Amino acid sequence: MSRETAIAKAEAYFESGGLKADLARLIAMPTESQNPDRAEVLTAYIESEMRPLLESLGFTCKTLHHPKAKGPFLFAERIEDPSLPTIFGYGHGDVIRGLDKDWNEGLSPWTLTEVGDRWYGRGVVDNKGQHVINIAALKAVLQTRGKLGFNAKYLIEMGEEMGSPGLRELCEEQKELLKSDVLIASDGPRLNAERPTIFLGSRGGVTFDLSINARDGGHHSGNWGGILSDPAIQLAHAIASIASPTGQIRIHEWVPKEVPASVRRALADCEVDGGPDGPTIDPEWGEPGLTPAEQVFGWCSFDVLAMKSGNPETPVNAVPASAWARCQLRFVVGIDPYEVLPALRRHLDRHGFTMVEVAKSRDEIFHATRLDPEDPWVHWAVNSLAKTTGKKPAILPNLGGSLPNDIFSEILELRTIWVPHSYPGCSQHAPNEHMPIAIAREALGMMAGLYWDLGTGDIPSVAKA
């Protein structure tokens, strides 16, 4: 009975083809939460796959529902001793739309396909592959030690790709049921494919629409051009007032006062690198004086996701009647999410753009969260991963993207430690989503080592900071 044995059992699951076979079965389930026709598949993922898997490990399972949710939640718990710390796990079984026609020839979102050193399929990294790896690592520890050595609770939701509707309310209502000490879960990418990573929260996100509706219908530009306002021009200028030509945000309520010293220290060891398939960084873009890592993980970013005016497919000689843009602010701790749109409204009005309408594009707002990078649990987790891999893990104060992490850190009052099993070039949310096979194998060993270490009793205090 040893740590090395548990890691070897997890790796044997990979070598035998077990992980690949289980993932193939799960990926074949088109759990698109944005597609109302997939409701039965969302339920089947919980009831026919996750429940039997967790029950086989001695978990007691319960299906939970909430009126706001797009699908069911599976709650599972294994209580070995009430005096032991309780570790909370999380994953989501829903996926973004398959976009079947846009995948490369020979690939399908609903078929796990091995090409070279990669596994392709929708959900292979976001998030089916990641929580299946973690559950398999729990199994390896149980097979080796006969027990975990800690209490475990797990929540799997089926609506994360829709903004996790109902999750917040469910956690508020079921706070006692879900009560735990530390969240250890997996989602999102590593800093790069080769380097194990932990992140401690996420940037928040607000997505909103800007629009101008000047009149009913377009009018001939030869007869009316020059005397009718052009909504496209007006909207372009309004957007230009929000950010400089090099992307620096001009609304002071949208940026933090500074990057905290502990965040700077953690990010000084991090280099943003998307690998050979990733884009080239534009060094002059964004907030001056910040490193690329500080830009992505310690600052805020504003982007225009889409724009439309007139008929782009078949342009005609007419002054357009309207213009529209979908925009997004990703923000860090220190920004009030409920002040983002009011601050934008004041800014536009000050600059004479009262004709621009501002509206949230969806009700859910992801809040920004961040565990202190110098928390004892962070150092403990880093040491565990380093012991298993022989590599120095990267510490990201928060993910550059957004997760419902505030629900865990604020409502459930958990320290939050995420160990991602993906990399920046994985094409999640796009055609050709994939996982490097080497990451899958390494992740199984890392998590088996981490769960083994949790059960030794040699862990930091779980008392609230």
Q: Concatenate the DSSP letters of all residues of 331-350 into one string.
A: E-TT--GGGHHHHHHHHHHH
User: 282 in a domain, yes or no?
Assistant: no
Looking at residue 365, what is its pLDDT? 82
Overall average pLDDT of the 4-31 stretch: 98
Last residue of a domain, one of 339, 360, 381: 360
Check: pTM over 0.95? Answer yes or no.
no
Is the pLDDT at 364 greater than 80? The verdict is: no
User: 294 in a domain, yes or no?
Assistant: no
Place of tokens 């160990």: 419
My answer on whether omega of the bond before 311 falls inside 30° of 0, hence cis, is: no
Last residue of a domain, one of 360, 377, 393: 360
Torsion sign (Cα): 435, 436, 441, 445 = negative
Residues 337 and 391 in one domain: no
Which CATH number belongs to the domain containing residue 341 in this structure?
A: 3.30.70.360
Which CATH number belongs to the domain containing residue 59 in this structure?
A: 3.40.630.10
Q: Which of 200, 170, 190, 267 has the alpha carbon at shortest distance from 403?
A: 200
Looking at residue 127, what is its pLDDT? 97
Confidence tier at 465 by pLDDT (50, 70, 90): low
Per-residue pLDDT tens digits for 206-237: 999 999 999 999 999 999 999 999 999 999 99
Residues 155 and 225 in one domain: no
Residues 330 and 346 in one domain: yes
Residues 315 and 448 in one domain: no
DSSP state of 252: G
Residues 231 and 160 in one domain: no
Buried b (16+ CB within 10 A) or exposed e, 245-268: eeeebebeebbbeebbeebbebbe
User: 176 in a domain, yes or no?
Assistant: yes
Residues 38 and 77 in one domain: yes
User: 288 in a domain, yes or no?
Assistant: no
Q: Are 402 and 203 in contact (CB under 8 A)?
A: yes
Residues 26 and 152 in one domain: yes
Looking at residue 193, what is its pLDDT? 93
Last residue of a domain, one of 360, 380, 406: 360
Confidence tier at 274 by pLDDT (50, 70, 90): confident
Q: What are phi and psi of 130, to 5 degrees?
A: -70, -45
Cα 80 to Cα 150: distance, rounded to the nearest angstrom: 7
Q: How many domains in the chain?
A: 2
Residues 21 and 69 in one domain: yes
Residues 163 and 60 in one domain: yes
Residues 137 and 213 in one domain: no
Instruction: Provide the residue range defining the domain that includes 236.
Output: 204-256+300-360
Looking at residue 464, what is its pLDDT? 72
Torsion over CA of 440, 272, 279 and 444, rounded to 10 degrees?
0
